[in-house]
Amino acid sequence: MPDLTTTYLGLALKNPLVASASPLSRNLDTVRRLEEAGIAAIVTYSLFEEEITHESLQLDYYLELGAHSYAESLSYFPDLDTYSVGPERYLEHVARLKAAVSIPVIGSLNGVSSGGWIEYAQRIEDAGADALELNIYYLPASLDLTASELEISYLNLVRDVRAEISIPIAVKLSPYFTALPNFARQLVEAGADGLVLFNRFYQPDFDLDALSVTPNLQLSDSNELRLRLRWIAMLYGRIEADFALTGGAHTGQDIVKAMMAGASVAMTASELLAHGVKRASSMLAELGEWMVDHEYDSISQLRGCMSQRAVAEPAAFERANYLKVLGSFPATLR
């Protein structure tokens, strides 16, 4: 049997298959079953900046309301460190997950701005998380907001979170950056230990009968792998960070491709949501079988073998391939 062990964010993992942030992590029994099926680590569902801010504002409102109604209540304010608001349940859940399984538990914090809410990064660490995935995304709908301003705000956020915690940080990104390699390097310089490529956003649809906008949650498929492979292969060996591929990993062969591009781990959720947690076992079996058939002894032997680290001009390489693909279409069609 090939050696499937890998290292991600300084964490020694038994294999490269990680459960990405999803509803799967909400249930302790499900997480235990994921571990039994072979999942090497789990990323918890995200705690959102908006949740923390909302709870804080709501608490402030009721405290102020009571204080204005009864002057003597000023002396009866609860201790905010022990006051149980919504985010507290998230922290309790992280602690329960750590007690329930032996695999690493990676917390997930979703936010876009610096502020008091980032203290929860420290609290997630205190709850026992082995690492933190910082999920950053903001839709730049304003005509006045520039790309550089948005990127600076992201970099400041990573620096602020890095100042709060000592555990490793992975930054989960979207592919929508004009100069992704440069921005990726700046994120690492700001304190990121790893990059997770890429976030998936659930695009709304139009209901033509009701004339309304409707949510449209669509699970990924293996076709989405290509965008992730392209960028990880371009960045591997050029940036001092671990890479996680997320979005499109559905088979053992998909995991192989992720490793060949240069990823340390392949993250999955859609495949498990669609086919159940036991699917993780068969994905790992497919991975092992492929490695045996192609005489690969270890994940480290696979990693980066299809990356562009040996290419002097990756942009020119990409453009050449682009021209090659366009030239592969027949000049005439039936």
* Three-state SS at 73: helix
In the chain, where the domains are located: 6-327
Single pTM value for the model: 0.85
Amino acid at 320: A
**Pairwise CA distance, residues 281 & 255, whole Å:** 13
Judging by beta carbons within 10 Å of its beta carbon (0-12, 13-18, 19+), is residue 287 exposed, middle or buried? buried
pLDDT of residue 316: 57
pLDDT of residue 73: 37
Low-confidence ranges of the chain (pLDDT < 70): 54-86, 310-334
CATH topology for 6-327 is TIM Barrel (3.20.20)
Judging by beta carbons within 10 Å of its beta carbon (0-12, 13-18, 19+), is residue 146 exposed, middle or buried? exposed
pLDDT of residue 26: 95
Q: Where are the alpha helices (DSSP H) in 109-244?
A: 119-126, 147-164, 180-190, 225-235
Locate 108 and state its tokens.
């997930």
Locate 327 and state its tokens.
């030239």
* Cβ atoms 45, 97 nearer than 8 A: no
**Pairwise CA distance, residues 218 & 226, whole Å:** 18
pLDDT of residue 111: 86
H or E element that contains 196: strand 194-197
* Cβ atoms 252, 287 nearer than 8 A: yes
